[in-house]
Structure 1
């Protein structure tokens, strides 16, 4: 498996990044985060998530943020779980995506494990999917580690999509027929 941790958004020269507030401020300056999302992003405490990659059965359950910063080891494990299973290739996932999952899950009052149908997609994988379906964007945020398609056991996709859209923390796509929701940490939009 190939991992590209030298460009990890939470690390700098192999040292856990303490500049997360600067990243959050830059995101806010470019309109990528709303004020409530920004306030929560810089708040102290812990944040945790639980995800299971449907195709591989790989999972992560634990804290990814503590003491005012992202946990580098947890992010590396999440990168591996959310890798492109067809090519066995991982990329540094944008940690703000985990904040989106965490916030939506809190809003829904759930502590269940997210089932992840699609997360990181290598450009080759995304191009192949785009040739098969017009619903797949050729410039998908999946290729940047900023998006995933997921479902939460016991919750309908419409309820998840509504909660995420109300929070306005990124893109929300409802795929009701397929039973999943697309969540990303890009610009606020819905489909």
Structure 2
């Protein structure tokens, strides 16, 4: 007797198998979160309940030095001041920066045991600024996280860009791009990746 093919004979089409895959993915995501959580908690404890950042904008000379997170939350006034320092100076346009970017900068500086000011070469980029840069260089992404306030191109005085990039990449806390020839590192609070 010939066996009739049923659409659920294929494991990819079986809704029970598909649901199991979803449960497994969710479980793996939870395990990953637990693996990262102790490092984050340890970093927060090491920071004494506050997070600070020291920033100097290369083009404008404007600076921010101080606490941007305390008592379990971000300081709105500090974030507004950081938005101004990170603005697109060519368009004089400001956007709310993603505060997780400051967490990345804080964590990298602490890991490097640096209390120097980050020199910010590029923070927020208006879409027009990003498009102009992308037309001049293949190295500029047309969908850059700079346009979302999630990225900064930085350097730390007295530190090699390769060393900063290596530390940041090893921590897996966001995107890391090494621009050795230009002497800076791209750091962002997007998915962990490197180039």
TM-score range, shorter chain: 0.7 to 0.9
Give deviations 1:22-49, integer Å, cap 9, x for gaps.
xxxxxx87x8994356536876710101
Q: 2-side partners of 1:140 and 1:117: how far apart?
A: 15
Paired residue for 2:37? 35
- Does residue 130 in structure 1 map to residue 134 in structure 2? yes
- Cα-Cα RMSD: 2.0
Task: State the Cα distance separating 1:180 from its structure 2 match.
Answer: 0.2
- TM-score in terms of structure 1 length: 0.80
State whether residues 58 and 121 of structure 2, in contact with CA within 8 Å, keep that contact through their aligned partners in structure 1: yes
Is structure 2 residue 74 aligned with structure 1 residue 59? no
| Mapped contact 1:47–1:63 kept (Cα < 8 A) | yes
| TM-aligned CA distance change 1:107 to 1:52, over 3 Å | same
Residues 1:147 and 2:147 are matched in the alignment:
no
**CA radius of gyration, larger in:** 2
What is the aligned partner in structure 1 of residue 122 from structure 2? 118
> How many Å separate the matches in 1 of 2:172 and 2:96?
23
Partner of 1:104: 108
Paired residues of 1:41 and 1:99 also in contact (CA < 8 A): no
Aligned equivalents of 1:129, 1:140: Cα separation in 2: 11
Q: Which runs of 5+ in 1 are unaligned?
A: 1-27
- Give the Cα separation in 1 of the matches to 2:143 and 2:161: 24
Where relative contact order (Cα < 8 A, 6+ residues apart) is larger, the structure is 1
Provide TM-score, normalisation by structure 2: 0.79
Match of 2:94 in 1: 90
Q: Which has the higher helix share?
A: 2
Corresponding position of 1:174: 178
Q: How many angstroms apart in 1 are the aligned matches of 2:108 and 2:173?
A: 9
Preserved contact between residue 59 and residue 89 of structure 2 (Cα < 8 Å): yes
Which residue does the alignment assign to 1:183? Answer: 187
Query: 1:117 aligns to what SS in structure 2?
Result: strand
- 8 A contact 1:42–1:68 mirrored in 2: no
